[in-house]
């Protein structure tokens, strides 16, 4: 199984899009997306310096555009799973078929501008906390009135909040931990971003999403998302909610992902995957930074992706598990029964309680892929739906 990762803010580098503009149609694509995002993506990706592309309002649409531009040169129909980090979720949602590329770029532009505006309301910031005991790190973050904005796994947390609290955290770091202030405009993924969440919600309400065409993981809890509308709501909520990249990587491991491609500007997420998913089952990783890396990425997809069949087959849709736990089919529901969109087909029992599993399309329940009390991982197929009622 192959996963494609879309990076988030902080991964950008001056001039990283320059080699991509040599590809046919790339510059015109970026100019079209620039009109939607309200920023000059060609300039930002080629000539802008580090300070200019650090601006949240510019960085966010630039990163989403870069991921989508590179993905256009990959055989994405063989890719099983997509997931993004923070604003990278917009790119991942587009690659999963939930959003058109134009909608993802537009939302990234709105998200960046509104988060930049929220940062200007009061002095806040972020700091990476590396190492230490996770429980002690979280306790220390809370003690100083801060929020765990990112839980990235591999011993990496990001604390966010008032500048005064960050200074106290740096002066009194958790045992065996290092605190490094980040050069960002404010406290992303915390309640300080509430105005930006409200503004993004107002725009996102006008979008008509589609359900994912491949497994799509959410930063909120590492779960696979079945419904397009649910994903849009999660994208909006993520502006103030912590990024649980640790749980996304746990899901990659649970699903047995064997190959990973990080889209440009690549390196950060690939590094986290390599540090967290080790051993004999560690996935093979390719960082896609320039067109010169495309052959290696395509080769990885050919070896780890799902090759399409040229035989005539009936098209089925599958309902996947939203969370890890044990599956319980809905009482009285059997193979051959007609399902309607939104019908509850069962639930997954988790440590937090039962999570409903619903059909995202109408059709015939062709096959149960999981049964009573079967342990399931997020994204694991549970029910196959075929035909039309």
Q: Which of 6, 11, 34, 86 is catalytic?
A: 86
Per residue in 114-136, pLDDT (tens digit) is 999 999 999 999 999 999 999 99
Question: What is residue 254's predicted lDDT score, i.e. its pLDDT?
Answer: 87
Query: Is pLDDT larger for residue 157 or for residue 319?
Result: 157
Output the pLDDT for position 317: 67
Task: Tell me, yes or no, if 189 is annotated catalytic.
Answer: yes
Reported pTM: 0.82
Domain 121-181 fold = Alpha-Beta Plaits (3.30.70)
Where does the chain hold its CATH 2.40.50.100 domain(s)?
316-386
pLDDT tens, position by position, 63-88: 999 999 999 999 998 999 999 999 99
86 is catalytic: yes
- Who contacts 243 (Cβ-Cβ below 8 Å, separation ≥6)? 8, 85, 86, 149, 150, 151, 152, 189, 219
Residues 157-166 have pLDDT tens digits of 999 999 999 9
pLDDT greater than 60 at residue 314: no
Domain at 2-113+191-304: CATH code: 3.40.366.10
Percent of the chain surpassing pLDDT 70? 96
Residues forming CATH 3.30.70.250 domain(s) in the chain = 121-181
Question: Band of the pLDDT at 315, cuts 50, 70, 90?
Answer: very low
Catalytic residue among 147, 189, 227, 347: 189
- Check residues 119 and 362 and name the one with the higher pLDDT: 119
If one looks up domain 316-386 in CATH, what number appears? 2.40.50.100
């Amino acid at each position: 199984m192959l996963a494609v990762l879309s990076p988030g803010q902080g991964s950008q580098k001056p001039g990283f899009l320059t080699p991509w503009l040599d590809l046919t149609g790339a510059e015109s694509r970026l100019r079209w997306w620039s009109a939607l995002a309200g920023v000059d993506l060609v300039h930002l990706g080629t000539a802008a310096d580090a300070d200019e592309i650090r601006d949240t309002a510019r960085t966010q649409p630039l990163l989403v555009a870069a991921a989508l531009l590179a993905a256009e040169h990959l055989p994405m129909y063989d890719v099983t799973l997509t997931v993004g980090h923070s604003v990278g979720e917009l790119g991942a949602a587009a690659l999963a078929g939930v959003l058109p590329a134009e909608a993802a770029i537009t939302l990234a532009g709105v998200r960046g501008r509104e988060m930049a505006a929220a940062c200007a309301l009061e002095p806040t910031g972020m700091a990476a906390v590396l190492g230490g005991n996770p429980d002690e790190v979280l306790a220390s973050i809370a003690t100083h009135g801060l929020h765990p904005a990112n839980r990235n796994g591999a011993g990496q947390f990001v604390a966010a909040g008032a500048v005064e609290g960050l200074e106290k955290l740096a002066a009194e770091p958790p045992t065996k931990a290092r605190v490094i202030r980040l050069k960002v405009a404010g406290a992303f993924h915390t309640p300080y971003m509430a105005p930006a969440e409200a503004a993004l919600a107002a725009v996102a309400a006008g979008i008509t999403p589609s359900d994912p065409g491949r497994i799509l993981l959410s930063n909120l809890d590492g779960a696979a998302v079945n419904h397009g509308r649910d994903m849009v709501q999660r994208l909006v909520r993520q502006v103030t909610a912590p990024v649980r990249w640790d749980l996304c990587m746990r899901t990659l491991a649970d699903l047995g992902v064997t190959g990973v491609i990080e889209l440009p500007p690549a390196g950060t997420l690939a590094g986290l995957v390599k540090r967290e998913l080790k051993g004999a089952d560690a996935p093979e990783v390719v960082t896609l930074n320039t067109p010169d890396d495309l052959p290696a990425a395509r080769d990885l997809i050919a070896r780890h992706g799902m090759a399409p069949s040229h035989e005539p087959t009936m098209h089925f849709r599958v309902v996947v598990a939203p969370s890890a736990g044990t599956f319980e089919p809905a009482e009285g529901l059997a193979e051959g029964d007609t399902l309607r969109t939104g019908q509850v087909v069962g639930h997954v029992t988790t440590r937090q309680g039962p999570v409903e599993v619903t059909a995202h399309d109408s059709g015939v329940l062709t096959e149960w892929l999981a049964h009573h009390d079967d342990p399931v991982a997020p994204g694991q197929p549970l029910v196959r739906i075929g035909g039309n009622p």
